[in-house]
Amino acid sequence: MLIVGELINTSRKAIKPAVEKRDAAFIQDLAQKQVDAGADYVDVNCGTMVFNEPETMAWLVETIQAKVQAPLCIDSPNPQAVDVGLSLAKHGQPMLNSITAEKQRFADLLPLVVKYKTKIVGLCMDDSGMPETADDRLRIARKLIQDLTAAGIPEDDIYLDPLVKPVSTGDRAGMEVLETIAAIKDEHPSVHGICGLSNISYGLPNRKTLNQVFMIQTMTMGMDGYILDPLDKTMMGFLYASRATLGQDEFCMKYLAAHRNGLYRG
């Protein structure tokens, strides 16, 4: 299981002003809190800084690493920002979020994945647009796996994001993703799955409930990576509980450790 803490993202209201003011303490504190709460990776996304994304990325990466030891997930489709971020990342194996099967984006980012030996998030979309069905997603997933492994990237470094769409605009939006995960895991057991959870609940009330349920359902189908808010104790509680009931937690040790650390709220 790989948890990417999603909170350092300039599209979030609290983050943008802190980044603009170069408030290092605020950013470092937020990074540390996420790691303490169980994040394996800290996501760094400054995509909304359209006029100076690479420069902002450099500041964020250096600022976080000055205080926090965890590896980073460099989150941008912009090759310049990605290059800067990865070149500065120094703790562990960095992650890149994300490549797609779009020709241009794949060609721009693949050399960086190879150069920096990153874990890579592969988003299941291509130049024909957003996938609708599980079959659409699987076709793109297979292409991504084939092209990434052909470039020498180990299957174990590939995290496929099936592209979650809102269930409010399509009754089968959840099922298409669940079927995709099961099929990918079946065909390529060493390839990982990862996704964010908030898309599923767009357009509906009580979004947290839907997000939590969808985490449990996707995990049941074999999803083993999430980009989420690790400070959400309810969500983390469900995560540890699900791992235990799915047989991924020997002697329930992680579940119990989380309980003792106060990370789990029943």
Two tokens, residue 174: 């959840």
Residues 6+ apart with CB under 8 A from 5: 31, 34, 35, 37, 39, 41, 42, 43, 228, 229, 230
- Tell me which stretch binds another protein (CB under 8 A): 46-54, 84-92, 152-160, 252-260: 46-54
User: Which residue, among 19, 64, 20, has the nearest Cα to 41 in the 3D structure?
Assistant: 64
User: Which residue, among 264, 234, 240, has the nearest Cα to 253 in the 3D structure?
Assistant: 240
Q: Under the criterion CB under 8 A, does residue 151 sit at the interface with another protein? A: no
> CA 103, CA 144: separation in Å to the nearest integer?
11
> CA 174, CA 155: separation in Å to the nearest integer?
25
Q: Under the criterion CB under 8 A, does residue 169 sit at the interface with another protein? A: yes
Give the nearer residue to another protein in terms of CB position, either 202 or 252: 202
Give the nearer residue to another protein in terms of CB position, either 66 or 204: 204
Residues from 51 through 110 that contact another protein (CB under 8 A): 53, 77-78
Give the nearer residue to another protein in terms of CB position, either 79 or 222: 79
Q: What would the x/- binding string for another protein be over residues 115 to 134, using CB under 8 A?
A: ----------x---xx----
Give the nearer residue to another protein in terms of CB position, either 25 or 204: 204
- Tell me which stretch binds another protein (CB under 8 A): 48-56, 62-70, 108-116, 226-234: 48-56
Residue pair 55/85 in contact by the 8 Å Cβ criterion: no
H or E segment and range at residue 228: strand 225-228
Q: Under the criterion CB under 8 A, does residue 150 sit at the interface with another protein? A: no
Residues that bind another protein (rule: CB under 8 A) add up to a total of 18
Give the nearer residue to another protein in terms of CB position, either 202 or 220: 202
Q: Under the criterion CB under 8 A, does residue 166 sit at the interface with another protein? A: yes
Taking every pair of Cα atoms in the chain, the longest distance, rounded to a whole number of angstroms, is 51
Give the nearer residue to another protein in terms of CB position, either 65 or 211: 211
DSSP-assigned letter for residue 4 = E
Q: Under the criterion CB under 8 A, does residue 220 sit at the interface with another protein? A: no
Q: Where are the alpha helices (DSSP H) in 151-261?
A: 173-187, 207-220, 233-245, 253-260
Q: Under the criterion CB under 8 A, does residue 48 sit at the interface with another protein? A: yes
Residue pair 60/30 in contact by the 8 Å Cβ criterion: no
Give the nearer residue to another protein in terms of CB position, either 169 or 251: 169
Among 26, 33, 47, 220, binds another protein (CB under 8 A): 47
Site residues (CB under 8 A) for another protein?
11, 47-48, 50, 53, 77-78, 125, 129-130, 165-166, 168-169, 202-205
